[in-house]
Amino acid sequence: MNVSSRFDVTGFGVVVTGGASGLGLAYGEVLASHGARVTLIDVDGAAVAAQAARLRDRDGLDVRSAAVDVTDHPALDRAIDEAAAAYGRLDVAFANAGIDPGAGFVGAWAGGQRPRVTEGALERYTDERWNRVIEINLNGIFATVRAAARHMRPRRSGRIVITTSLAATRVEPAIGAAYMTAKAGARHLMHTVALELAADGIMVNAIAPGFFETNIGGGHAHDPAVQAALAKDIPMHRIGQPDDIKPLALFLASPASEYVTGQEIVIDGGWGLGVAD
């Protein structure tokens, strides 16, 4: 067997939600750079159009964009339908869009302690804040997966990749409760859908990132001081970069993963293992 050929995604039709920046953009970049035809979907129409244009103009890649809020399920359906029509097929869907949950009930380590954060206390968790996180980070994932399956099932082939989080299985009190709940729900949805769609040749898996330098959390992860503080708890002593996730995304989207389904693959530099030094 020529193993390298199993990673060939040339001509694949791909959609990525939350594709204007961060991990979503990394997913789109790696698939497009390996010959796939990619539609980046994001609520920020100007940003996602600019990224698609950059990849087309600078790198000559086959990338288009769509401005869609994943909480608008009919609009999301239309965007995915249009992508499938443009490509004549839909091979891969990355259900990735998500938002920052706001403060948890404790803050970052400072002087050997983690101070309580009044803003993140349970009594201050408004319905609006809770519902918005669930609508985007869980219901938006569901709507993306549902729309993708509608195109993949008749062809009896496809890959669906859901972005969960290490927070789906580990309680991290600095992260808002709604975020952890949504990601845990997305993880269980992945298992359920993987079981249902396996006989149709559709592989459903999840990527569970730890700390990455993205815009989530208000963009604080771009601050070198924040990165240094986070790195102290990570055995590899650095936070992740979007490029770190690209090989895993290519694997899960390609024929190389044809016997892998229902799996959540953690990519966190060892953070979930505990503190080593």
Q: What are phi and psi of 40, to 5 degrees?
A: -90, 125
Rounded to whole angstroms, how far apart are CA atoms 137 and 191?
17
Burial environment of residue 52 by CB neighbours within 10 A (0 to 12, 13 to 18, 19 or more): buried
Q: Is 125 a catalytic site residue?
A: no
Give the residue carrying structure tokens 């993987």: 194
Q: Tokens at residue 188, please?
A: 């269980």
Rounded to whole angstroms, how far apart are CA atoms 64 and 50?
10
Catalytic residue among 27, 87, 125, 179: 179
Please list the active-site residues.
179
